[in-house]
Homo-oligomer: A and B are copies of this chain.
């Protein structure tokens, strides 16, 4: 007998897939659907195991995968929580600019422009939108130790972020991804980044206080949500005379 037939109200899963994978899928669906909300504790492992009709070992293996992807967070003695986007997570997972040979600090963020626009070809393709679709076009300037270091040019689907206002954007209490999560129920779980060296445009140079044509690092980032749909397209332009991009690989 199969647990997916025993347990009521649970999607059938994939035939032939390991049980823990199907449990994982079922949990992901609840998270993506917003049944379990960021910051909330999820039911205990014992309860979930009983509910899904699997052993506790299998249930733990399912949760392990989600913890690795930082979608859930375990806290011994307290419970397992739906991960939230906060400054810590930004710093350790999505912000890779550090002083030369130094340690990470949290950037000062300043919104330079906020407007509606229609998507150019690249933006539309990266976000999976029709060319010319309505987007928000936002420009932020980030400083470290009071020195401007990075310009973010952000594009997000105006339909998906319907109702977003400049004051909401500028007055957010935490990080941008926290705003996406808290206000629009969209959780960024993964990003892809492509880096190049380019010559600074006059516009970017002025904002960074450098010479036009000076070498700058550009980071093209696509951010994906729990359903692996693109959420945000961002081009970051970085002055690397005193800071650099840090990555660890295995």
Contact = CB atoms under 8 A, between A and B. Distances in A.
A192 B250 contact: no
B244 A194 contact: yes
A220 to B, nearest CB: 8
Contacts of A101: 194
Interface of chain A, helix or strand or loop or mixed?
strand
How many copies of this chain sit in the oligomeric assembly? 2
Contact of A195 (B93, B217, B250): B217
A17 to B, nearest CB: 15
Interface in A95-120: 96, 98, 100-101
Contact of A194 (B194, B245, B250): B245
Contact of A190 (B93, B196, B220, B249): B249
Interface in A222-250: 238, 240, 244-250
Interface residues of A, number: 32
A238 B192 contact: no
A9 B16 CA distance: 43
Interface of A: 69-70, 93-94, 96, 98, 100-101, 189-199, 215-217, 220, 238, 240, 244-250
